[in-house]
Amino acid sequence: MSKVYTIAVLVGSLRKESINRKVALALAELAPANLKLNIVEIGDLPLYNEDIDGAAPPAAYSTFRKQVSSSDAVLFVTPEYNRSVPAPLKNAIDVGSRPYGQSAWSGKPGAIISVSPGAIGGFGANHHLRQSLVFLDVPCMQQPEAYLGGAGSVFDEAGKLSDKTRPFLQAFIDAFGKWVAKQNG
């Protein structure tokens, strides 16, 4: 039996009916047998502030860092806000990167899928996030790149993933499974 890798999934949108969360859940269902995707919640993280991150950091910081640290890889599912990542996702990245020298991200293979109702599928957010991941020592899967544009129509009213989108997400998550195994091998 092959190893099963635990994947920390960070969803950049906090909306209750978030398309990004729906895509993350669809990816969890489509994931190959060697991946176990777990959404790590970021909405309750206080804004990063070094003044409160001392000997007794907020419990939310510690819990978040432990969830990321104990994972074998990370997957970011994000919308685009103003050609960048949403503030809650940037905050989560900052929280996980501290205290300096103890980053929860370091060396974890990662991938990004940007999801947007717009035509370019969150291209700006995807590439902006890649810049941060370079600094954080997160080797990011290069291919296939994943930009899901027109995302408002990829689920029907019952929440079922469209047959048109399923092969795209399947190819992405299958490639990620191979990438994680290669990086952790």
pLDDT tens-digit profile of 165-178? 999 999 999 999 99
| Per-residue model confidence as pLDDT tens digits over 60-95 | 999 999 999 999 999 999 999 999 999 999 999 999
Backbone dihedral region for residue 11 (phi beyond 0: left; psi -120 to 50: alpha; all else: beta): beta
* Reported confidence tier of residue 118, pLDDT bands at 50, 70, 90: confident
Residue range 5-184 in CATH 3.40.50.360: yes
State residue 89's pLDDT score: 98
Is residue 36 within 8 A of residue 5, CB to CB? The reply is: yes
Task: Please give the torsion angle defined by the CA atoms of residues 75, 6, 23 and 64, in that order, rounded to the nearest 10 degrees.
Answer: -70
Q: Domain locations in the chain? A: 5-184
> Residues 6 or more apart from 126 whose CB is under 8 A from it?
78, 80, 112, 113, 114, 145, 146, 147
With tokens 């074998």, the residue in question is 72
> CA–CA distance from 157 to each of 11, 117, 183 (Å)?
21, 16, 38
Q: Which residues pair with 114 in a beta bridge?
A: 78, 147
